[in-house]
Each structure stands twice: as C-alpha cells, then as structure tokens.
Amino acid sequence: ENDWLEAIVALPLNMFYNTGIATYIWVLSNRKPAHRKGSVQLIDATNWYLPLRKNLGKKNCELSEADIRRIVDTFLALEETEQSKIFPNAAFGYWKVTVERPLCLKGIDPTRAYKAAEIKRLKEEAERSEDAPPVIRKIHKAGTAPDPLHGLFEMEINGKKRVVEYEPDTDLRDTEQIPFLECPACQQPGYLPTAADQRAAIEEFLRREVLPYAPDAWYAPNSVKVGYEINFNRYFYKPKALRSLDEIRAELLAVEKEAEGFLAGIINL
C-alpha cells in the first residue's frame, strides 16, 4: 500500500541445507524509481541454478555467477518475458466478504420479529427448510429504505410495506474473496481502491456471481477484510501438454494385445 515493493524473485527449490521450501527475495525501496511506481515485478528464477555434484543435506543446487547476473539483468530490464511479469499493485489485493443467507424454519410466524432468546430456542426445536419462511429478527420503522445487499429486505406486514432484517443461518454462511481488479480503476498502476470503489466492486461482484444462485443473500460492510496474496503458480505455471487421442489409443491397443498373449499362455498351460 505504501508502494515500497519493487520486485519478488522466486528462487530454485532445495537451495538450503535443512529445508526444501520455496524461498523468495523481496526487493524493497522507499525511493522507488519513477518507472517502477505503482507496479510490482515478479521474476521466476526457479529453473536458473547449477546442480551440485553431491547433495549437502537437502541442498542440491546453487546459484552460479551466470544465474545471479541473469536475475539482476531481468530485474533491471523490467520487461514482460516468460520469466518476468509486471502487475499493478492492486493486482494482489482482495476483499474478503462474509455472505449471509436467512435462517428459514418451519412453523414460525413470518410477520413478526423474534427476540434473541426465542431464535435460540427455535434453532434447537424447529426444522430448517429452504421452503420455510425466513426468521425476522428486526422490523425497522416506517420510512426505512430497503437495501437487500446490506440485509434490509422489504416485505408486507399487515397490509403495509416494512423493511426487515433476517436472522442469518450460520450453516449457510460463506465467504467470497473479491479481487481489487473488480474495480476498473485499479487496472492503473499505483491506483488503490477508495471506500466508494470498494462498495461498488463488491456489490457488482455479488450481483453477478452470487445473487443469481442465492437471491436472498446479503453482506455486512463491516465484515469486509482487506488482504493481499502473491501466488507465483498462478502466473508462471505451465501445464503439461496432454497426449493425443491417437497416442492413447495406440497404447491401449498394445496393452490389450499383450494381455491377450498372456491369457493365451495361461490357458495353454
């Protein structure tokens, strides 16, 4: 968020004596050059190493002078290549949002609000069902504006429209990890979302990805948490090419032919 991160370099595995975990070099600076401001460079150096003739514990490789020079040159070049990717700072940020669904119980009065003690008893005694009415925990005063995405639903009670809040069902509670890049402005290097951007991006995501499948869902803005994640596999993973159908078919026929000969030999015995 302070724009101090210039680059992260992923090093080869098994670089150290007692561990084979993935290791990284973080390049930090509070005097970031102008051409790097607002962006982060990821360098995949996992395949740049010199194998050791003999393992030293778990250590089986090291960086040669040529490998170190290659990493430095890649960093200084600041170009998009197969081993170098450049992203705006916001590409790694996300909002973790708690999504609620109403508690629906059979045999309740769908037009009255229940107190906390009553709801606790109902949870123990009543049967949950998606076809049952939701449990109301609060009926707002007349004039309150409905806002379903924030848990304020409009319904008719005794012939009048009122806004109510439902008791959330903890068994149906879920979380969504919504990328900062859901905010179009975050595509610009250096731009971080404002509170207005956050609300707009989260609500647009929920309308698109959640409400079509759970139209009664809502979220509480005070439940939103900000996090950052940098996953090298997401950006540098190269899936192996699948074998062709002809190759698989030929292998199956060969195995089948071999099995026939094996069975024939057993029968002749």
Check whether residue 48 and residue 115 sit in a common domain. Answer: no
16 is a domain residue: yes
Please, which residues have CB within 8 angstroms of residue 71's CB and are 6 or more apart in sequence? 9, 43, 45, 48, 63
Does 24 reside within a domain? yes
The secondary structure of 71-116 as a DSSP string is: HHHHHHHT---SSEEEEEGGGGEEEEEEEE-B-BBTT--TTSBPPH
Mind listing the pLDDT tens digit for each residue in 86-107?
999 899 999 999 999 999 999 9
Q: Is pLDDT of 261 > 60?
A: yes
Whether residue 82 is found in the same domain as residue 113: no
Domain C-terminal end among 115, 137, 166: 166
Report yes or no on 237 lying in a domain: no
Number of domains in the chain: 2
Provide the residue range defining the domain that includes 154: 102-166
Provide the pLDDT for residue 127.
Answer: 92
- Looking at the structure, tell me whether residues 45 and 106 fall in a common domain: no
* Mean pLDDT across 54-69: 87
Domain presence at residue 21: yes
Higher pLDDT, 248 or 268: 248
Question: In this structure, is residue 183 part of a structural domain?
Answer: no
Q: Are residues 81 and 18 in the same domain?
A: yes
Q: Are residues 62 and 19 in the same domain?
A: yes
Of 144, 166, 188, which closes a domain?
166
Same domain, 48 and 73: yes
Kindly state the percentage of the chain with pLDDT values over 70: 97
Domain presence at residue 66: yes
DSSP category for residue 194: -
d(CA 228, CA 239): 25
Express each pLDDT in 198-227 by its tens digit. Answer: 999 999 999 999 999 999 999 988 889 999
Of 110, 136, 166, the one marking the end of a domain is 166
Do 151 and 123 share a structural domain? yes
In degrees and rounded to multiples of 5, residue 8 shows phi and psi of: -130, 130
Specify if 120 maps to a domain.
yes
pLDDT in tens, 107-126: 999 999 999 999 999 999 99
State what percent of residues in the chain have pLDDT above 90: 61
Does residue 33 fall inside a structural domain?
yes
Q: Are residues 112 and 51 in the same domain?
A: no
